[in-house]
Copies of this chain bind each other. A is one copy, B any other.
Amino acid sequence: MSEPIDFYYDFSSPYGYFMAEKIDALAAAHGRSVRWRPFLLGAVYKVTGDVPLPSKPLKGDYARRDFERSARFLGLTCRIPDPFPIGTQTAARAFYWLEAQDADRARRFALETFRAYFGDNRDISQPEVVLDIAAALGADRNALQAALGEDTLKVRLRAECDAAIARGVFGSPFVIIDGEPFWGVDRLPQIERWLETGGF
């Protein structure tokens, strides 16, 4: 059995959302599973000196157009939410809490959280919204709410961000297959060929 594919993303990343809609099916078609790994772009940017895409001169305006065009190209819908971008530490911490109990529920939570933000314009930086999404999937809302207030989860997410940076993750989405890194949803064709051929 091959190692799982690692899928790194920030919940505020449109391209991360598009990859989230695609990666499981693509991996499954090649007999592979996916390990979902939310992280915080803000933590990475502290290391790289980068800034959020929407605030970059020229590139920011292009990106807003490209988000929506890339969604159409991939057969998805995406409205740039307001506010955008947002802090995603609550959603990411909730993911790791859910994953410790049930990895499949955590993955469904991640996808629902992305869809809530980029499809329904719900502000997933708000703990209430995160709790609602988790509870709708059968998670214990009160237990999750309590956990989100404790240090354990904060330390866990920080460790995940550090581990991502140590592996060279600098953007979202970032996919690692058997050590080979792929940045961006526009690398999907290369990922597909890599899975088909075992490397090229």
Q: Does A61 contact B (CB under 8 A)?
A: yes
With the chains together, A21 CA to B165 CA distance in Å?
34
Is the CB–CB distance between B57 and A190 below 8 Å?
no
The one of B47, B181, B189 that contacts A65, using a Cβ cutoff of 8 Å: B181
Q: This chain: how many copies in the complex? A: 2
Q: Does A70 contact B (CB under 8 A)?
A: yes
Q: Does A184 contact B (CB under 8 A)?
A: yes
- Sort chain A's interface into a size bin: 20 to 34
A57 CB to nearest chain B CB (Å) = 5
- Would you list which residues of chain A between 36 and 80 have a CB under 8 Å from chain B? 44, 47-50, 56-59, 61-62, 65-66, 69-70, 72-73
Is the CB–CB distance between A66 and B183 below 8 Å?
yes
Interface of A is mostly: helix
Is the CB–CB distance between A58 and B168 below 8 Å?
yes
A57 cross-chain contacts in B, Cβ below 8 A:
47-49, 170
Residues of chain A at the chain B interface (Cβ within 8 Å): 44, 47-50, 56-59, 61-62, 65-66, 69-70, 72-73, 165, 168-171, 181, 183-184, 186-187, 189-190, 193, 200
